[in-house]
Amino acid sequence: MKKLKLSLVGIVCLFILAGIVAFKPVTSKPDTSSKNKSTAGFYQWFMFDPLVTSTFSNAINPMYYRPMNIGELCSGNQRLCAIYAQTDFSNPSRPIITISEPIYMRLSEYYAYGITSINIKLKNHF
């Protein structure tokens, strides 16, 4: 009877030990490959190209923006002047404008409903 009790305790201990080893958290090295690195940078103001027609499809195209200089005034006939967006690390002179970025939603709201935002500068027309 005592041997049976010791055997059962031993088996229970083995199961506990096996459970501890089996459910040990897996540690892995962080992935430092370039494909998983974020291309997002800091936020800054970007000037919209005054020679381009101010439509939603043009407004969400990063190629129509350039970094805005301090004190720079809007020019041209377009209502959209500048946006405050995240800089693309792979191309620092361009903003990131993707559907997952907040500026995309702000531009959508402006072009669809005329809703303005602190992230969009408009040229004053008098």
Q: What is the pLDDT of residues 37-72, one digit of tens each?
A: 445 579 999 999 988 888 999 999 999 999 998 888
How does the average pLDDT of the chain come out, rounded?
78
3-state secondary structure the chain: CHHHHHHHHHHHHHHHHHHHHHCCCCCCCCCCCHHHCCCEEEEEEEEECCCCCCCHHHHCCHHHEEECCCCCCCCCCCCEEEEEEEEECCEEEEECCCCCCHHHHHHHHHHHHCCCCCCEEECCCC
Q: What is the pLDDT of residue 103?
A: 95
